[in-house]
Chains A and B, each alone.
Chain A
Amino acid sequence: MTTPAIRIVSATKRYASLQALAGVDLEVAQGEFFGLLGPNGAGKTTLISALSGLVRPDGGIFEIMGHNVVSDYRNARRNLGVVPQELVFDPFFSVRELLRIQSGYFGIRNNDDWIDEILASLDLTAKAGANMRMLSGGMKRRVLVAQALVHRPPVIVLDEPTAGVDVELRQGLWQFIRKLNRDGHTIVLTTHYLEEAETLCGRIAMLKSGKVVALDTTENLLRRFASHSLGVRLENPEMAAALGGTLAVGGWANFPLERYEDLEPLLARLREAGARILELRLGEADLERVFVEVMNRA
């Protein structure tokens, strides 16, 4: 059996009265694009911090590519690249200096060929000599990604990498991360943009109050939790509630559909009740609905 990229067993962590991690078990296979979702305070960042050695867990096992993050921390950290949530940088250095220094921390000298490749991929070549203070927020974010990649880690964790990032940069960033994933890197992503997670992640874990409350492939989660919906704009929208619908703006009403087979009977009921349909649209299941449903159930 292949060694998992990440293995977490019974992870616990308490901060004063807050139980940040309450027995998390998680395994991420090599090459996966994995999503870690949850509301604020669910324990996502604590989990990532414990995995990367920034936080000492109270209990549990954390392994990266089979290396324990405490007893074999050097190998564990060599295998992990972390893009932090906060836009942090060292104001004393230029982009290239920072990347050379970061390479050195990981025991790598003469890393300029790879640094040039990363800079080019992230569209930072022109800024290689610029001091970090002179860069825009989006560029600083890209430098953070570059810093996480200087030692070519097989496992990359991105903690809210697109928070506050404009659309163009976000798309460029995802293109690059997808390429890394295609090249064999394992990607773990936390994000509040659920459509991003839905598009990118093959498997997703949802955390609430320090516990994993859902863990499955994105496809299965969408199938298991979220229903489709039928949206209709009615001439007489006030009648929607009596038929099990919920009113939305502009005379629209939404009716839940468990399966597509339920569509015809629903339309028949509307006709029988005398509803006059002006417009009609079918709503697909999405991760946002799954998320809300999972959080409400947990």
Chain B
Amino acid sequence: MHDRLIGFRTLLYKEVLRFWKVSFQTVGAPVLNALLYLLIFSHVLDRHVTVYGDVAYTAFLVPGLVMMSLLQNAFANSSSSLIQSKITGNIIFVLLPPLSYREFYAAYVIASVLRGLFVGCGVLLVSFLFVELPLAAPGWIFAFGLMGGAILGSLGVIAGIWADKFDQLAGFQNFLIMPLTMLSGVFYSIHSLPAFWQKVSHINPFFFMIDGFRYGFFGQSDVSPWLSLAVVGVCFVFLAVLTLAMLARGYKLRA
């Protein structure tokens, strides 16, 4: 194998091993969180709400929770790894070797996607114990899971590089990622919102990630999955270019 590929694969392996070694916290805990959301919301709302005509609320909720967990954990993976490495100083072990900034980006983002997928699959598997869920178009599920994880993985790299303290990273997570996720239609269909808030939802890229993901289960969604895929694709390209530009400049990494 070419030694460049070995370098990239090693960084990817290290990033995966890093979260896998504490999988109780990085995979198990988010699955439990999602399960609690599911039990509470389904208990309260299942008999009162149906979506897309005849879809039970609990079934509607599951894809949203899966995607929310996937996105949040993809972000947490790259951002926490980078900020910890920066603060403890061990980031130099990644900066001294002959790794390119593209390899650096790819390794961190792919590891984030993998953690997101692990958590997402965990939530989905546990949900199957409680809910019968159709799989109308699995290709869409996979495509949006992959793209959503890559977008949040990239955002995590940006936040991890930008933040100098855990406090700043928490701000990024609590004031940007969390509101965008919670207001994206995880818990509701935007058709249940007033017209104004429906329009507001359309400027939230997280809405398109979750709506497209949900289409894969039910074959129905608030907007066309192709539109969602286009929005998500443009977001990913924008963030990938931005992150690569930051890494190429050595922003906050190579002073």
Residue numbers of A with Cβ under 8 A of B are: 15, 49, 52-56, 73-75, 77-78, 80, 82, 84, 86, 88-93, 97, 101-109, 147, 151
Contact = CB atoms under 8 A, between A and B. Distances in A.
Nearest to A82: B96
Given A88-B92, A108-B3, A77 B17 contact: no
Contacts of B94: 105
B157 to A, nearest CB: 18
B25 interface: no
A107 B6 contact: yes
Nearest to A86: B89
A52 B96 contact: yes
A80 B85 CA distance: 21
A101 B97 CA distance: 11
A77 B7 contact: no
A84 B255 CA distance: 16
A84 B92 contact: yes
Given A90-B90, A92-B17, A56 B97 contact: no
A125 B18 CA distance: 23
Given A77-B98, A105-B99, 15 more contacts: A54-B95, A54-B254, A74-B100, A84-B92, A88-B88, A90-B88, A90-B93, A97-B17, A104-B10, A104-B14, A105-B7, A105-B10, A106-B7, A106-B98, A107-B3
B93 A147 contact: yes
A101 B14 contact: yes
Contacts of A86: 89
A286 B219 CA distance: 83
Nearest to A79: B98
Q: Place the interface of chain B in its size category.
A: 20 to 34
A54 B96 contact: yes
Contacts of A80: 96
A151 B96 CA distance: 12
B129 interface: no
Nearest to B6: A107
A109 B1 contact: yes
B4 interface: yes
Contacts of A91: 88
Contact of A106 (B9, B22, B92, B97): B97
Contacts of B6: 104, 107-109
A252 to B, nearest CB: 45
A53 B3 contact: no
B130 interface: no
Nearest to B18: A92
Contact of B95 (A53, A75, A78, A106): A53
B11 interface: yes
Contacts of A55: 254-255
Interface in B1-58: 1-4, 6-7, 9-11, 13-14, 17-18, 21-22
A142 to B, nearest CB: 15
Contacts of B93: 88, 90, 102, 105, 147
Interface string B109-129: 000000000000000000000
